[in-house]
Amino acid sequence: MRKAVWAVILALFSALFAACGFSTDWLGKASSSQPKETGVTIKVLAVGQGDAILIYTPEQTVLVDTGDTGEISRLRAALKKEGVRRLDKLIITHPHRDHIGGAAEVFRLCDVKEVYDNGQPTTTNIYREYLKTIQKKRIPNYSLRDGDVLDLGGGAVLHVLSPTQQMVDERGIQNGKLNLNLNSVVARIRYGNFSMMLTGDAEIPTEEGIVNRHEAGELRCQVLKASHHGSKTSSCESFLKAVDAELVLISCGENNEYHDPHPSVLNRYQKHEMNYYRTDKNGTITVRSDGKTYTVQPEYGKINEPTE
């Protein structure tokens, strides 16, 4: 009899929890940061002028870049909203502040299993702290090179297209000046028939190198993350033609000081019949794919918003 009473009380509590929107995961069985069960979901997070792209595959949670130091509160809010407390992989495309700036916060909030970057050292404090944390926490750290293939679990694969070892050896020197953007990690995520290109801040020489080294079939994607926040340093004709995307996602800050994305680049996307969303006008942009088709959902606003 007493057992039956307890069973009823337990059932009532379970119903109450369910009504409040808590899942049994909340009770400690599993972390809510576990990836979605089927398909891939890619979220280009609205973190102002910078990049932070969250990828859920059927088995892993991956973050590509971490936004700027001045936008840490936005990154933190996004990770908390998503319930991300574990990252199977953190990928830093290049060590500029608007990509690596939130790394310290990511290491504080999340259990990071592996770190990938281009392996090109730089002298900034943010970069030194990043390396120090990786060493202190003993997180395996790998350099990505053209031709590398990363298994993201559940059939999702990341093909690295740039930089080459030679590019890193030459340290991204262009016309005698150091340009860290040139050696951004560029990679194509593939899941079934769906693919999306991640570009960091690749500039035209990087994009042209990729087109020269790879067959068109290795580059074609439905979705392209705009190189370098839609700046006119990037998105060259040959790269857009090879990628042949239907949709471009631009990560850029509201009224940013660089005036990204550049109107000429937006025109170029339209000329190549590519629609676009931009995080300054559309908030976080979510792409989902089951490996056959894909859907895209902006947080707000319309498609193809021009720059005033």
Inter-CA distances, 144 with 54, 65, 116, 213, 222, Å: 18, 14, 7, 16, 23
Q: What is the DSSP string of 244-307?
A: --SEEEE---TT-TT-PSPHHHHHHHHHTT-EEEEHHHH-SEEEEE-SS-EEEEESSS-TTPPP
At 162, list the tokens.
């740039």
Q: How far is the CB of 234 from Zn ion (least distance, A)?
A: 10
Residue 274: CB partners within 8 Å, gap ≥ 6? 224, 240, 245, 246, 247, 248
Name the minimum Å distance from CB 172 to Zn ion. Answer: 14
Touching Zn ion, residues 127-186 (CB under 5 A): none
Note whether 201 binds Zn ion by CB under 5 A.
Answer: yes
CB of 250 within 8 A of CB of 229?
A: yes
What end-to-end distance do the CA atoms of the chain give, in Å? 72
Pick the closer one to Zn ion by CB: 127 or 191.
127
- Map residue 163 onto helix, strand or coil: coil
Which residues make beta-bridge pairs with 274?
Answer: none
Q: Which H or E run includes 169?
A: helix 165-169
Q: Which stretch binds Zn ion (CB under 5 A): 27-35, 134-142, 199-207, 299-307?
A: 199-207
CB of 296 to Zn ion, least distance (A): 22
**Looking up tokens 């379970």, which residue turns up?**
14
201 or 207: CB nearest Zn ion: 201
Question: Shortest Cβ distance from residue 270 to Zn ion (Å)?
Answer: 23
Residue 72 or 156: the one with the smaller Cβ distance to Zn ion is 72
Among the residue ranges 55-63, 92-100, 259-267, 297-305, the one whose residues contact Zn ion (CB under 5 A): 92-100
**Cα gap 52→68, rounded to integer Å:** 9
Q: How far is the CB of 145 from Zn ion (least distance, A)?
A: 21
Q: Which is nearer to Zn ion, 71 or 201 (CB)?
A: 201
Residues in the interface with Zn ion (CB under 5 A) total 2
Which range touches Zn ion (CB under 5 A), out of 195-203, 208-216, 231-239, 244-252? 195-203
Per CB under 5 A, 260 contacts Zn ion = no
98 binds Zn ion (CB under 5 A): yes
- Pick the closer one to Zn ion by CB: 61 or 181: 181
Looking at the Cβ atoms of 88 and 201, the one nearer to Zn ion is 201
Binding site for Zn ion (CB under 5 A): 98, 201
